[in-house]
Structure formats: C-alpha cells, structure tokens
Amino acid sequence: MDLSYPPFETIDSSGKPEGVSVDLAEALGKFLGKPVRIENIPFTGLIPSLKTDKIDCIISSMTDTAERRASIAFSDPYLSTGLALLIARDSKIEVLQDLDQAGKTLAVRQGTTGEVWAHANIKNAKILALDKESAAVLEVMQGRADAFLYDQMSIWKNAQEHPNKTRALLKPLQKEFWAVALRHDEVELRNQINVFLTSYRAGGGFEALGEKYLSDQKASFKAQGIPFYF
C-alpha cells in the first residue's frame, strides 16, 4: 500500500503503518493464517510490484476499473465511493442541473476519474482542469469556479477545513468501488479473500472500521441521507 492517504493508509507518530487498510490487511492475514508484511510503495508502483511478484496483493484504496482489469485481477468490492461536488457556502447549486449551464465553471483535477466523467457528461458549463487539488479548492473559495468535482472523501475533508466558505454535496454523481488487487493466476487466493470479505462484513468488521476512523464522515453522510462507504 501507499502509506500517504489517511485515514486509510498512513504512518503513525511512531513510524508504524495505521489506518483502515492496515487493519483490513491484518484481519485478512489472521483469516488466512499468514503473517502480514506491509510494503510502503508509491501508488504508481503498486501494480508493477504486483505483476513482478514483489508483493502478493494491493490493499490501498484502489478503484476497480476495466483498464486495470486488463493486467490484474480484483476481489469483490469492499467499499463504494463516488464523485461529489464542493461548492461555495452560499451557492444556490443543489443538483447537477444547476451547475451544467452556460456561464458556470466546474473545476476538476487532471488525470482523475472526475475529469473523465466531466468531459463525458457536462454539456454546457466550462470545465477547468487543474493539476492540484488545493488549486481547485481555491478556485471555488475565490469564486472563479462554481464547483469542484472530486471523490467524496476529499470533498468532505475540504468542506470541513473551509466551513465558512464551502460546503459539500456528497450525493455521488458516479459510483466507484475499491477492491483488493492481485494477480490473475491467484485464483485460490482471490476466492479466499472474497470469503474473508463476506465474513468480515457479516461480523461487523467494516462497521467497526467506520466508527474507528471515519465517525465524523459517517455522521455527515447520515445527515444528508447518503449511504456510507462500507
């Protein structure tokens, strides 16, 4: 995993891995009866490391996509997230139709599923592609963009950091799913992981992870009547 995405994958004050994915990996190891060694690898290096047998699986907030399935396999999904909107605090935008109008501007981050979705679905508003998340947030805060389209978790986080100038519309415009990645030939391991995920969910494991690491987000989602990630 890439230990740079708290609260899912990060490093604690003592230098040890911690987060949702770390707890999940350790629970999987216990289920399989195998020791777990976490390798901290930049996200772009995860799939190459998997394909060259340097690691056995990836548990790192990785979205299951058709493009990735061409070279690696995925378990059943364990988390559902989606694309959401960050808007100005006093904005009258409430749904996509309010945004997709001539004279409106939608900020996206270059190279993300948000940019791909925007070009496929936004017909009237201007699309402003930026290379950094912080730059897109600033465009909204300073009124140069009407909204920023990005993943629900980041949108929620940015709204919490700038509550006087922004708010989050968390209802997903597109759903995406995270899963455990592994090699195509690891059929038995994939089956075992799927059994584990089913058992872990039935035993309240994901519910506990949500309460441990994401309680504030969970409350915000509930207040808006939006299904939580797990």
Cα 66 to Cα 71: distance, rounded to the nearest angstrom:
9
Segment 145-158, tens digit of pLDDT: 999 999 998 999 99
pLDDT at residue number 198: 98
Whole-structure pTM over 0.85, yes or no? no
Distance set, CA 47 to CA 28, 59, 106, 184 (Å): 20, 11, 31, 12
Backbone angles phi, psi at 97, to 5 degrees: -60, -30
DSSP 9: B
pLDDT at residue number 39: 97
pLDDT at residue number 201: 98
pLDDT at residue number 220: 87
DSSP 116-171: HHHHHH-SSSEEEEES-HHHHHHHHHTTS-SEEEEEHHHHHHHHHHSTTTEEEE-S
List, for the chain, all residue ranges whose pLDDT scores fall below the cut of 50: none
DSSP 15: S
Query: Which domains are delineated in the chain?
Result: 10-78+179-223 (3.40.190.10), 82-169 (3.40.190.10)
> 97 near 73, Cβ under 8 Å?
no
Query: How big is the chain, counted in residues?
Result: 230
